[in-house]
Amino acid sequence: MHDLFLIGFLGALLVAGFRRPFLFVLGYVYVDIVAPQHLSYYLLNSIPISLIFFVAAVASWMMTGDKKAAAFGPRQAAMLILLLYCYVTTANADFPMEAQEKWSWVWKSLIFAVFLPLTLTTRLRIEALAVFMTLSAASIIIVGGIKTLSSGGGYGVLNLMSSSNTGLYESSTLACIAIALIPLILYLMRNGTIFPPEWRVTAFCLALSFACLLIPVGTEARTGLICIAVLGVLMLRATKKRFLYLSIVGALAIISIPFLPDSFTKRMDTLNEVQSDQSASTRLAVWKWTLDYVGDHPFGGGFDAYRGNSFRYETKPADSFDAAKGTSQSAVVVQDQARAYHSAYFEMLGEQGWLGLFIWLFIQLGGLVRMEVLRRRYRHSPADGDQWISQLATALQHGNIIYLIGAGFVGIAFQPFIYMLVGMQIGLDSYARRRRRAKTRNPLFATTTPRA
């Protein structure tokens, strides 16, 4: 039943793609995020659906796509360079087998991010991409949200439909991405044309945002709590009634604390106890090891190079303080090896070296700068004109910032969902550029051009 439903859905998307080829692109987005082959018991496992949609999307773009509108920007070039660079480091990797396995999904993620902006030639396409990314992620987030409400969740306990623990099904990743998605959900709630603003759309978007906020609670991923704090600050920047906003957020935070599960508050308490927390100590030790490693290997060790690490460090048990005796237990020496980076920055540094980290930062930070330019340029455009560009740029920028902060504690440098977000940023940027050119070419319409 499950399988038939998913197959029927994919079939419908494929058929729709033959009428409107852009739906192949959306189909790929869906398959990449939801990974229906992981939800299926037998049928879909054997069909390369992701490949089918990708080939269909590229082939139909080559045959019918608007090549004139397709611009190739510096960040796309950077992603191609990163792709080639990763290819070389994979060939020379410390752990060739493991590196090959990571390469097998990283290259798809990068290639698609380079290709995606070429197809984003109209406003509706950009919005459709946002809707598909949001709803695809929502299929996992809603499950996580409801299960958190009903059971309270727990670290590594929340069952997110699939046992694969890859992509968005990995709990820390989902916690970070879910929060990064909230600005985009709120953008769609106000500016949607596929689902224009009305009470049902508003209700769904608010409920989904709430479910996103519940993911860090349900998964007990501490990264998620940091991401929520960043979101709170960013929204303060975007809001006009700041005092009202602060009062509401403050009230909600106080009201919600008694409802948080006990294990959650306990775990979050450890955020303050960096010294005594083994997981934090491990991270610091791995990061130190990475810095030493790139000292000897400036070009990185290829994917999964962390497998070569081993170190000793001292830690105190989290509950080491014995209140009755007023003493604390002595430090414990921990011997550890092959620990993952737990940070996208160190992941890039250790695996791809300084050059790889530099290219990656260029892709990420370049997006923040470009979105800021668009945000300011179109801020004072008419509300029924180009103001949406400013609002979407703000949402994409905020999502990116939340990701970049969260990525400081989770190794998600190549998360495909983020590369789609980057692709959308590039698409929006070149769309806005084309629009401005069209207007300057046609001065009759230039009267509404905002200051630029």
Partner 1 sequence: MIDNFSLLLTHGLLLLAAWRLLSRDDLDVDPPAEGDADA
Q: Could you give the 3-state DSSP secondary structure of residue 407?
A: coil
Q: Are 151 and 220 in contact (CB under 8 A)?
A: no
Q: Which is nearer to partner 1, 150 or 335 (CB)?
A: 150
* Nearest partner of 166 among 127, 239, 109, judged by Cα: 109
Kindly state the smallest distance separating residue 119's Cβ from partner 1, in Å.
10
Residue 413 three-state SS: coil
| Contact yes or no for 73/429 (Cβ under 8 A) | yes
Residue 20 as a binder of partner 1 (CB under 8 A): the answer is yes
How many residues contact partner 1, by CB under 8 A? 47
78 contributes a contact to partner 1 by CB under 8 A = no
* Binding region for partner 1 (CB under 8 A) out of 76-84, 123-131, 239-247, 293-301: 123-131
- Shortest distance, position 98 Cβ to partner 1, whole Å: 31
Phi, psi of 337 (to 5 degrees): -155, 165
DSSP codes of every residue in 63-94: HHS-TTT----HHHHHHHHHHHHHHHHHHT-S
Instruction: Kindly state whether residue 32 participates in binding partner 1, applying the rule CB under 8 A.
Output: no
Q: Is 210 in the site for partner 1 (CB under 8 A)?
A: no
* Concatenated DSSP letters of 110-122: HHHHHHHHHH--S
Q: Are 392 and 187 in contact (CB under 8 A)?
A: yes
CB 235, min distance to partner 1, A: 25
Looking only at the bridges linking them, the beta strands covering 321-322 and 327-328 are antiparallel
In the window 187-206, what residues touch partner 1 (CB under 8 A)?
A: 194-195, 204
Considering only the stretches 75-83, 129-137, 279-287, 410-418, report the one whose residues sit in contact with partner 1 under the rule CB under 8 A: 129-137
Instruction: Identify which of 30, 32, 33 has the alpha carbon closest to the alpha carbon of residue 10.
Output: 30
The span from the CA of 391 to the CA of 374, in Å, is 9
- Nearer CB in complex with partner 1: 16/249: 16
Q: Is 30 in the site for partner 1 (CB under 8 A)?
A: yes
Closer by beta carbon to partner 1, 142 or else 334: 142
Instruction: Figure out which of the listed residues 50, 121, 397, 425 binds partner 1, where binding follows CB under 8 A.
Output: 121
Report how far residue 366's alpha carbon sits from residue 360's, in angstroms, rounded to the nearest whole number. 10
Q: H/E element holding 96?
A: helix 96-119
d(CA 192, CA 18): 25
Q: How far apart are CA 67 and CA 434, in angstroms?
A: 13
Nearest approach in angstroms of CB 439 to partner 1 is 7
- The pattern of x and - marking residues 145 through 164 that bind partner 1 according to CB under 8 A reads -xx--x----------x---
In the complex with partner 1, the residue whose CB is nearer, 21 or 216, is 21
Task: Please state the closest distance from residue 396 (CB atom) to partner 1, in A.
Answer: 19
Q: Quick one: residue 302, left, alpha or beta (phi over 0 = left, psi -120 to 50 = alpha)?
A: left
In the complex, the smallest distance separating the C-beta of residue 17 from partner 1, rounded to whole angstroms, is: 9
Stretch that binds partner 1, among 2-10, 265-273, 315-323, 344-352 (CB under 8 A): 2-10
Residue 138 as a binder of partner 1 (CB under 8 A): the answer is yes
- Choose among 206, 229, 215: nearest CA to 264: 215
By CB under 8 A, is residue 424 in contact with partner 1? Answer: no
Q: Which is nearer to partner 1, 9 or 107 (CB)?
A: 9
337-376 footprint of partner 1 as x/- string (CB under 8 A)? ----------------------------------------
Retrieve residue 12's tokens: 């419908």
Q: Is 386 a binder of partner 1 (CB under 8 A)?
A: yes
Indicate whether 128 belongs to the interface with partner 1 (CB under 8 A).
yes
Of 83, 110, 120, 131, the one binding partner 1 (CB under 8 A) is 131
Count of beta carbons in the 10 Å neighbourhood of residue 109: 18
Minimum CB distance to partner 1, residue 150 (Å) = 8
- 3 state DSSP class of 197: coil
3 state DSSP class of 48: coil
Determine the Cα–Cα distance for residues 53 and 362; give it in Å rounded to an integer.
29
Report the interface residues with partner 1, using CB under 8 A: 2, 5, 9, 12-13, 16, 19-20, 22-23, 26, 30, 39, 66, 121-125, 128, 131-132, 135-136, 138-140, 142-143, 146-147, 150, 161, 194-195, 204, 382, 384-386, 435, 438-439, 442, 445, 447-448
